[in-house]
A and B are shown apart, each in its own frame.
Chain A
């Protein structure tokens, strides 16, 4: 399989929001892309919050719990791990996470979910 076709060119680094998220259109799908500048890390997850199926995670606040990077949904503040997608607020729902890479100032999202 051609490896390149699995990487979606999402945006330029300068279009991403430092220490926050943006939403990337991927056909009918929506992916939340987070530029965790404080840790110099990139994360991508599904944009839909599984709690009430709201397209909102890219608008959430990011942060950490002990060392785990996380995002809080703006609707009811459920939090999810950015690295594993696990719900940290004790719910049974997890979110999909995607790999991210940066090349020549462009941010790419691997469109096959990690989890």
Chain B
């Protein structure tokens, strides 16, 4: 018998999901899919990532051969144009007809474009497909100002994308009196508005656009209040319009405001025709989200395979994925008194607004809104969806438990196994935990592959991670991070063991805790731990050969084998006399000089043999080592601050010098850098540093865990308006926590990225002393500070160490004759590699 034939119109997200679900259940049915777009179905939810470097291929939901492997006939670039329901045939753009037994509409929706005069002008776009994004990005190159009509979920996302495309002035025009009118209330909208303003977005509410001005290209928008806004381009994001035109044309029932009417089995008014996804109108509603669309696909696929599932509506909870601002709403977000009791927390200073709606008997969480901090979103959603009975103090849901801190992720233990964690793919807590427990998954990637959890919108990822870790831990599994073949410990374990056993040399550590002879991985690591713990001269006999080359010779080795000399210039402040000394020394020893990116001067091209005498002269003039070679404090950059600058709020130079002198010489898992700016104009770039300080009217704001380098990352605000003493105390704790716990060669930014609980956890440790370690750390760092000595001074004064700065053991006076320099712009530079 011939297999029944299913035709799917639309190869979007839901159409694809339907194919996947159907094929996972059965190989019967001939399956034919027609797509209007030129490419295979892709992840529209993450469309904006196309602007952040993802390619169309990255976004694709399937591999190239998938349809073939699944025995599905896919036509792309070939929209269905006509349907004959009598003959049960569809006709496509190329004129051919195909018969169906079952027809599935998965045509999605298009952008709703309001009827505004001038809407056809060049420079007006919608935001729905990869092609739209290509058009936008090429037009954006010549645009300086842009607007988005529509302040909903998609509008905000489009506006953020325009900023990221480098448009200097971007604004959002919203007809309603508030942003995201479907998700958040007026108070939440106010908070969101001020956060968006910080991102550089202008927001106009209550604005009704009446015309689009310009000859051929758009130049301005005109509003009903007779105001005008000049713009070079416009993105329309005023809502969606279900693609029901084909259905309507062939007489299938559609809703008055659009949408193909379906019942709980996704069946339309024609029993052989179904509709799923954003084109389907169920119970008077279009679900403009992916999770309900996937659920519809599941319902239809199951029923076609003789199963029995019904669609009963879907939770419209959402979390906005706008980078940088948390916005979420869940459950019954707008319900108000007297139908419920609301608890609201608002912190204008930090831009946080949280509202939860609790049932009148105080038993259940009905819904809520989160702005500025949505870390609790997943847990709140689960609490409300699973009707988990609340504690006596439901306010703790948004305020945290006061008086003690709950370990991150503890809340997930209370969820039932049936709790739906990934609503896009319909994966429950039980599915995730058992995949981990039976050993098939040990990490997130495995888990994504085998359960599909987190592969849709990705909003559930934090919770999936928590569940993974929780299950692994409960099985006593713990993935150990050992250093190398010589030490079966993690850096943190080794730190504690060296401390407890009071070991002071590399050999002692190797004898007591390691095996064999060590290597270039564990040697510098142990040396760094010894330095962090005891702060003794790093070149003490025996320890010198366990140092990386740069530490061993207290200078960075360069191409060709010469070394650099970098004296410390705290805060970048230097007297003319000291500048003259640097100039004289550089001239005398024929060194190339350059102002570094760290506000000091580097002298390059010194012979190993000359290093001690160069340093002797510098030290005599009051300089000390700048530790440009060590994994320790580099520079504390400063801006000129209130001593000269008309905007300066405090004396940033003095504070930078104080900080630099406090932490100089301290060794850490990696180098660390700092800066102090005298006001928010931020000329010292403090927010790109491991810790950065910015003056405010009332004191200092402290930022932590920023990074320049290969993966730049802005520092996060740890605490605000601190006095100098408190600021230093927090830095003390921060540094010791980092020194004790970071993996080898991990900068603070990466350390934080790996930290469970992130900045909130860190803040709790540093400010609230949640680990009870603060006093000990402050004490330890005082010891390190007190034992600081300039290691170059010790090196030049100690004959045994000084002796090692010679190239030939059997000709100590001779310099390495193979080092070559050439001339460039009146100075020397090193010759090119003598490569093979």
Contact = CB atoms under 8 A, between A and B. Distances in A.
B165 interface: no
B523 A61 contact: yes
Interface in B778-813: 804, 807-811
Interface string B536-554: 0000011011101100110
A60 B552 CA distance: 10
Contacts of B544: 17, 20
Interface stretch (B178-186, B513-521, B574-582): B513-521
Contacts of B557: 56, 59, 74-75
B478 interface: no
A13 to B, nearest CB: 11
Contacts of A75: 557
Given A10-B809, A10-B810, A17-B804, A60 B549 contact: yes
Contacts of A62: 517, 545
Given A10-B809, A24-B809, A25-B814, A53 B836 contact: yes
B517 A38 contact: yes
B495 to A, nearest CB: 21
Given A18-B542, A60-B549, A61-B548, A54 B520 contact: no
A52 B834 contact: yes
A87 interface: no
B520 A69 contact: no
A62 B507 CA distance: 13
A84 B544 CA distance: 26
A72 B519 contact: yes
Contact of A67 (B516, B524, B546, B808): B516
Contacts of B519: 61, 63-65, 70, 72
Contact of A69 (B517, B542, B804): B517
* Band of interface residues on B: 35 or more
Interface string B474-493: 00000000000110000000
A60 B557 CA distance: 12
A22 B809 contact: yes
A20 B553 CA distance: 13
A29 B523 CA distance: 29
A103 interface: no
A63 B810 contact: no
A23 interface: yes
A73 to B, nearest CB: 9
Given A15-B809, A23-B808, A25-B810, A61 B517 contact: no
A24 B808 contact: yes
A20 B545 contact: yes
A36 interface: yes
Nearest to B814: A25
Contacts of A61: 519-520, 523-524, 545-546, 548-549
Q: Which 9 A-B pairs have the closest CB atoms?
A: A74-B549, A20-B545, A63-B519, A72-B520, A22-B809, A64-B517, A53-B834, A25-B808, A61-B520
Interface of A: 10-11, 15-20, 22-25, 30, 33, 36, 38-39, 50, 52-56, 59-67, 69-70, 72, 74-75, 77, 79
10 contacts: A10-B809, A24-B809, A24-B810, A25-B811, A56-B557, A60-B520, A61-B546, A62-B517, A63-B518, A70-B519
Given A54-B561, A55-B818, 13 more contacts: A11-B810, A18-B545, A23-B808, A23-B809, A30-B816, A30-B818, A55-B816, A56-B557, A61-B545, A63-B519, A63-B523, A64-B519, A72-B520
